[in-house]
Each structure stands twice: as C-alpha cells, then as structure tokens.
Amino acid sequence: MKINNIGNIQKLRIWTLSPLHIGDGTEFDPTAFWIDESRNELNEFDASTLFEKLSQEQKNKILTLCQKADIFSLQEIMKTVNAAKPQSIRKISVSPEIVSNYKRILNNQNQNEMGKFQIKKTIVNPNSNRAYISGSSLKGAIRTALIADLSKKNGQFKDAVDTTFKASDFISRDEVKTTIGLVDRVSKKMDKKKGGFKHMAVTMLESINANSIFNGSISLNENVEQILNALEAYSISIIEDSEIGIKSPSKLGIEKVKNAFKNKTYLCRLGGYIGAESHTIEGYRSIAIKTQTGFKNREHTTRLLYSTPTKQKSNSDNTTFGWCLIEVVNENDDTDIQAIRNLIASMQPKQSTQSFNSSVSKSVQNQNSVKNINQKKLQANKEYSGIVSEKRTKNGGYFIKVQNYGEKPLMNYTGKDLNAGVQIKVKFTGAGFQIIE
C-alpha cells in the first residue's frame, strides 16, 4: 500500500500492546489521594478542595499536624484524608499488594517504610485528567532508530540525523484506563545455587493499560514509511529472546496482530522502564552496571523489567513495558477497531496489571454475572455476530466465540483461512455455527 503524505503531515494511530509508562517526573502526593480498599482503587483529588469535605475538628487537626512537619504528622494527615474520602478527579486501579502496603503504612510507625511508599505518575493532561502519549516520546524513539540505522550503514557511530520531523501529542478519544502496579526487575542470569532467576519488585508506578488507542500525527520532510521502517527494525532488534515464560511481543504473536490491519503498521517501544538497550545503539553501548566492586560499563543490562501486580517468584503473567504498534491511518480510516481490540485482548495474560480484580464486592458481582451469562442459550437458526477464536478443534477447524454465549465450532467450513480476532456473521445450527454468506 502506498502511503500518502498530504502537506507532509501523516495521521498515525498508536496501539499499546503492553503497559506503557511515560513519566512526568512527579509522584502521587500522599496527602492528595485516598485508597478505596474494597475496590482496589486509588482516588486522586484536588488538594485545594480538601477542606470543603472536612469537619471543623478535622481541619484543626490537619493545621496542627502541618505545623509539626514530620513523617508521623504526614501519616496522620493520610489517615484523616482516608477517613474523609474527598471527591476524586481520577480513579485508578491499584495492585492488591500496593493496597496492603498502604494499609500497613497507615498503621506503621517505621519512618523508612513511609519513605518507600512513592508511586510514580504517568503523564496526564491537566485539563481532561487523561493520560496521553507525548510527541517527544515518539520523536526520541525515532531519533534513536535513525541513528542506529545510519551507524549500521556507515560502520561508525553517527550522533546526528538530517531528517527534520515533528510529532504531535497522541490523544485518546476514549477514557484512558491506567493501573498502578510494581516493576519486577528480573536477573538475566540464572542463579545456579538457588535455581531460577532472581526477582526484585520494588518500584511502584502508574502505567497506561495495554489495548489503549491514541491518535496523532507526524509532519516531516521525508517519506514516513522509510522512517517507520527504521523504527520497527530497531525495535525488533531489542526484543529479548531470553524472556522465557514472560509475555513479550515475541510470545504474543505480533505478526498475527499486524496481519489483522488493512493499513501498514510498525512495531515500536516507547516510554520508560524499557531497559537501556531501548535507548542505545548496539555496538556502541556503554551501560553503567552496579556490581559488588562498583560500577562497570557493559554492552547489555543484567536485568529485565516487567510489569507485575505482585512480588511473585512466578513470572508467567508478567509483561514487558512499552510495546506499541503504530498504524498509518488512511484517508478512509476504515480500520475495524473493535475486531483488533478483541484480538489484542485475547493475547493478554489472564492476570496482569491490566486486569486486577477491582474489589471483593465487585468480584462477587462479576461471579453472579458470569452465572447469568452461562445460563444464556444459543437459539437454533438465529444469527449472531461472532469472533474467530485462537482455539482450534481437534481436526484443525475453527471455533467462533459469541459474547455472553461462549464458543462453538464452525461447521463444515472449507473456505479461505480465517484470522483469529476477525468478526463475522454466523448462524447457530444447534450443534455449531455456519457463516452467513
């Protein structure tokens, strides 16, 4: 497909395939949020409106605590805020483990524990309170990729590129869901004495959920296809093949997702916590690694970074940060958004930072809902809208998944191959589905 540039401006769409953290250098103010323990939800509020919610007694208490200005006074302010529960401007899903940490800190007099409870924020539009992808993040990734491409072609490091381009901020038309979880630092080297790989989950941060969509544009004086090809080539080169048992693009079947698009798409990696390799050039890296005898410069890092809901030894549900697809949007913009979202959703880990149970009560409600859903029965000779499932029948045939009704086999189908995630019209025969021509 030929990519058309109108006035050197090309519309793009960014799809997140894994959690994405683009920090703004700030952390959540512990006096400007409270956590709903029943819903595993952080409620951020406008600190300037706090006193509107407090009783006179609570106001006097906070004013007295502010004069003391020590770590234990901060703890008491947090308790007062948590009891008052001011109206929130943002609600963010939180890892159950972080909720437990928060509860412990509210009742713990350990100063070190208080100092460790810091949650890094992702960048948010102050007007809409929605997360977005800054244009500078994409520009930085493109610039690194172009330098890598030039250095490879010229056989020597090039620290400048001639290409001039600008990238807009990428905004979502929908509500952008974010999650607060942990960063799991996993050693690349197996511990032969203890067995397995060493884990160290200490950092708490907010990240944009996988399967989010953002729209923006890039303006440039060259062919956008050439630039995005370089970006994808660089991104593919930094995929870690050692991510055994961890959901990375190499395990998620990235080609299956790319093939579902009518438009051209390009793999890239954006944001923070994606490893030093994602910001440096192969063959010219000098990454400072902390060792027992001090810092040493090496070509590669010694740890991998993953998004995780809990400090766990098992890493089968963890996902690497920052993987995205950039879609070149054509004039008709005829992408089947929902079908591709369904496909990406089917490839996500069953339990990850994108899918925390939001509450015990909500979990009970969901269980009741599932029971009601399972009671629904397909009606013979009725038409349904279904999704081609990844699961195959014993003889290699297809299953079709209909929302709220489960999966049934596609009967007597001898047509062309079907891609998982594609939405089709079917009719239920009593034993399975038939495609409606």
Give the start-to-end residue ranges of the domains of the chain: 9-23+129-346, 29-117, 376-435
Q: Please give the structure tokens belonging to residue 134.
A: 């800054």
135 close to 214: Cβ distance less than 8 angstroms: no
The pTM of this model reads 0.72
- Among residues 182, 321, 180, 298, the alpha carbon closest in space to that of 243 is found at 321
Neighbours of 390 (CB within 10 A): 16
Residue at 395: amino acid letter? N
The label of the residue with tokens 């997360």 reads 131
What pLDDT does 5 receive? 45
DSSP structural state of residue 196: S
- Both tokens of residue 264? 């051209």
* Dist CA 220 CA 165 (whole Å): 4
The three-state secondary structure class of 123 is: coil
Phi-psi region of 225 (alpha: psi -120 to 50; beta: other; left: phi over 0): alpha
CA distance 259 to 252: 13
**Buried-state track 292-329, b at ≥16 Cβ within 10 A, e below 16:** eeeeeeeeebebbbbbbbbeeeebebbbbbbbbbbbbb
Specify the CATH superfamily of domain 376-435. Answer: Nucleic acid-binding proteins (2.40.50.140)
State the amino acid at position 306 in one-letter form: Y
Q: For 336-358, b where at least 16 C-beta lie within 10 A, e where not — what string?
A: eeebbebbbebbbbeebbbbbeb
pLDDT of residue 134: 96
Per-residue pLDDT of the chain (437 residues; tens, 9 = 90+): 444 444 578 999 999 988 999 998 999 988 899 999 999 999 999 887 788 778 888 888 888 888 887 777 888 888 888 888 888 999 999 988 889 888 888 877 666 666 678 899 999 998 889 999 999 999 999 999 988 888 877 776 666 666 678 899 999 988 899 999 888 877 766 666 666 667 766 789 999 999 999 999 999 877 888 899 999 988 888 775 434 334 455 555 677 888 888 889 999 999 998 887 787 777 777 777 776 777 777 666 666 677 776 665 445 556 788 999 999 998 888 888 899 888 888 877 654 333 322 222 232 233 333 334 343 678 888 888 888 886 677 667 888 888 777 788 888 887 888 877 777 888 888 888 888 86
Which among 180, 102, 100, 95 has a CA at the least distance from the CA of 351?
Answer: 95
> Which residues have C-beta within 8 Å of that of residue 238, sequence separation ≥ 6?
269, 275, 277, 278
Compute how many other C-beta atoms are within 10 angstroms of the C-beta atom of residue 383.
12
What are the helix and strand counts (H, E) for the chain? Answer: 11, 21
Indicate the burial class of 422 (C-beta count within 10 angstroms; 0-12, 13-18, 19 or more): middle
d(CA 262, CA 1): 9
Report the C-alpha gap between 416 and 436 in whole angstroms: 14
Nearest to 281 by CA among 299, 295, 303, 297: 299
Strand partners, 35: 42
pLDDT recorded at residue 190: 63
Per the structure block, which two tokens stand in for 230?
């370089």
Dmax (CA) for the chain in angstroms is: 77
φ and ψ at residue 191, rounded to 5 degrees: -80, 105
Q: Which of 348, 174, 147, 318 has the alpha carbon at shortest distance from 246? A: 318
* Spatial contact of 262 and 253, defined as CB atoms under 8 Å apart: no
